[in-house]
Structure 1
Amino acid sequence: MHERSVVPGLPAMVFAALTGTMAMMAYVAVVGPVVRLLGLAEWHAGLSVTAAGVLWMLSARRWGSLSDRIGRKRVLLIALAAYVLIYVAMAIFVDTALARPPALWLSVLVLVGTRALVGLFYAAVPPTAAALVADGAAPGQRASAMAKLGTANALGMVVGPAAAGWIAFHQLSLTLYIAAFLPLLALAAIAWRLPPDAPLRTAATGPRARLGWTDARLRLPILAVFSAMVSVTIAQVTVGFFAIDRLHLSPADGARAAGLALTAVGVGLILAQVLVMKLVGVPPRRWIALGALVSGIGFASVALVGARWELLLAYAVAAFGMGFVFPSFQALAADSVQAHEQGAAAGTVASVQGLGMVIGPMLGTLLYQWRPSAPYLLVGALLLVLSVAAVRHRDGAMA
């Protein structure tokens, strides 16, 4: 059966994932210039991103459980509406502050606070979307639908910064206004296209789910998401420094090389997830085993890079493997729990994703200061452990 009929509202969820990720990444693209123009320090930008990751980690599990109780669509509408309002407030503040800079403490408070709240409310979208797929798709068939969401996220990661950079060249504050408009489009799509009855099918069945990070059924999905997020965030935060130091580039050329490397990441992710969509019958744990091995080889090979094309190739290979891992840990989590636990399971996995977003950048920069190749070798070893764990994992579906 075609996925459009199996998972009601999936195209709307794919669109929401695309526009939501574009809006999230647009901020990352412009926060540097905004911080400089407002006279803030670089660590203030890092603090805003970290704060968003912390609130994501703390809230994702609760959002998933809430969607089990009150329905998927209601949670998505609440979260996206708040996301829009906060982003608009941030855009208005930045626009006003660039014309008449306020006190430094106020700029820091607003930038960190609004970005943290964006993380808090957008944390509802990935687990609720994953639970929605689990509601509609049968066990063993979920990785393909999850890959559609993953492809949308990957495309948003590529298009968002590129579009934001082009718009910011003409008017910096306009970038944030347009970014705020994107989740508004997502909100309209969810309200219009997501059926009101489909999200509520599992809301009243079974007791209230209380899944945690130590639940034995979720051990492999949790290890997979943690390893994947730590690996990806380490690679993101170190690539600019690595290009400058290892390839002996100027800061401008290093930034350009880093941008090309991250574009290669987006392309690799999209190609891999298209393959996952096509090969529907492959169990999620096999995708994880293969993807972690390929990605681990790609990341570890960065330690040997001596030319720009080698850096792009290594990042593309790493991303291609990661494209197998991302939709598969979500599908494996869904296959491992009961129907009334889908939101809680997706939220638990998403909360570990937030933890990886917090730990990865700090760990990566600390290791890089010790030795530039160290972060990449660590990531390679971590993904090798994940690949072995996936090979040893036994398949089993519960919902």
Structure 2
Amino acid sequence: MQATSPNATPATRPPVGPLVFAALTGTMAMMAFVAVVGPIVRRLALPEWVAGLSVTAGGLLWMLLARWWGGVGDRRGRKPVLLVGFAAFAIAYWALAVGIDLALHQKIGGLAALALLVGARAMIGAFYAAVPPTAAAVVADHTQPRERPAAMAKLGSANALGLVLGPAAAGWLARHDLSLALYAAAMLPVVALAVVWLLLPGGRPAAARRPPGARPMGLFDARLRVATLTGFTAMGSVSIAQVLVGFFAIDRLGLPVDQGARVAGLALTCVGCALVVSQQCVVRCKTVPLARWIVLGALVAGIGFASVAAARSPAMLWASYGVAAFGMGLIFPNFQAMAANAVQPHEQGAAAGTLSAAQGLGMVLGPIVGTLLYRVSPALPYLLVGLGLWSLAFFSFVRLRRTATA
């Protein structure tokens, strides 16, 4: 599916620099938490489901608010939404860092630490939900439909670089001090806020403003069904792998907590490197149909995730995560472009928000299902992810064949 809007957005040069930096620092902050949450939970003697619940809480608020944030961006402008999102994101992250520091030094009890992990992560999800759909809408505001996969891939490459730097830095700092890793991560949204405030231009193209009398986009708009299904499957798969990597390194590989944090961080670093490489393929191969990228990406990612079940060493874990991420890098920019190409210019924020809500739903259900299955067998969640991605590849292949013969 590569539909274009009847009223295509005029091509102007998108403000790539500030958006790339915002995506980079935001992803670094988010992934730093994922890299250390397993060791933090173990150090505080909390059950594994606390890590899953904390990520799920963030995903739930992301799911509930992403579409609303996208609509606010359509009505009020992109820059104000980004500023509010990063400001509140920073405040919530600092509250999390300070509270966990107190818990690690036994200044507050385990129940308070549990509430803080879940509550602060929920607030982080609620306000960071404003950032990805708004950044994607800015790109869509300034690009033609045929150019959007490559433009989205540039934004995705910034996210991927954040996946490299965030876990690597957090894993290295966690070897010395888990609290220091959180404090360093909490500084990142503060820096992003300053960059967006100072460098991102305000205003939008005239076509991005809703015409008088235009109806708002429906929640289950048929134009977005394929893109939202793909986004849900992709993010659900990623969230399972993210929240379990620390536990897998500790339990299946038999590593102590500190080494487990480092191995988990390096696994997520491999993810980022592979994402950068694969999304550069999307940038350079602009004539490949969106659905074909999704078929190929889902097949490769399914192989990578399923192979984690057989991992018995850090090297095999890193390789499996890298292969999985290479495939995911082919999926993400293309379903985002698929959604943007299916709607009108004045609907870009709502469309990006709807897509983010679908990804948020994946973040809600993924960690719950993943941590429950992990208690049965550490390999089982990864096999489920592989099966889900292969099903997505089959579904996309069938649609691609139908489109080719129509």
Report TM bin, short chain. 0.7 to 0.9
C-alpha distance in 2 between matches for 1:165 and 1:272: 24
Pair 1:27-2:33 in alignment = yes
Partner of 1:389: 395
Of residues 136-145 and 368-377 in structure 1, the stretch that sits farther from structure 2 once superposed is: 368-377
Q: Contact 1:25–1:160 (CA<8 Å) still a contact in 2?
A: yes
Q: Deviations over 1:150-184 (max 9, x none)?
A: 11112212211221233344444343333222111
**Given the superposition, is the C-alpha separation of residues 298 and 338 from structure 1 closer, same or farther in structure 2, using an over 3 Å criterion?**
same
Equivalent-residue separation in structure 1 for 2:180 and 2:352 (angstroms): 35
What's the CA shift for 1:52? 1.0
Instruction: Please identify runs of 4+ aligned residues in structure 1 that moved more than 6 A.
Output: none
Distance 1:310 1:316 in 2: 10
Measure the CA separation in 1 of the matches of 2:40 and 2:317: 29
Alignment of 1:1-399 (within 5 A): 6-32=12-38, 34-35=40-41, 40-96=46-102, 98=104, 101-198=107-204, 202-205=208-211, 207-212=214-219, 214-240=220-246, 249-251=254-256, 257-303=263-309, 305=311, 309-393=315-399
RMSD (Å), alpha carbons: 2.8
SS state of the match for residue 205, structure 1? Answer: coil
Q: Deviations over 1:206-231 (max 9, x none)?
A: 6252332x322112111211111122
- Note the C-alpha offset of 1:76: 0.6
Deviates further, 362-371 or 129-138: 362-371
Q: 1:108 to 1:199 in 2, by over 3 A?
A: farther
TM-score w.r.t. length of structure 1: 0.87
How far does residue 242 in structure 1 lie from its aligned partner after superposition?
5.0
Stretch of structure 1 that moved more, 201-210 or 158-167: 201-210
Alignment length (residue pairs): 390
Give the aligned residue type for 1:138.
Q
Q: 1:366 to 1:42 in 2, by over 3 A?
A: closer
- Deviations, residues 283-306 of structure 1 (Å, cap 9, x unaligned): 322211221122223333444556
- The answer to whether the 8 A contact 1:226-1:356 is kept is yes
Matched residue type, 2:217? R
More displaced 10-residue stretch of structure 1: 214-223 or 85-94: 85-94
Cα 1:228–1:192 change in 2 (3 A) is same
State how far apart, in whole Å, the 2-side matches of 1:108 and 1:376 are. Answer: 26
Contact 1:272 1:321 in 2 (8 A): yes
Is 2:149–2:333's contact at 8 Å kept on the other side of the alignment?
yes
Unaligned runs of 5+ in 1: none
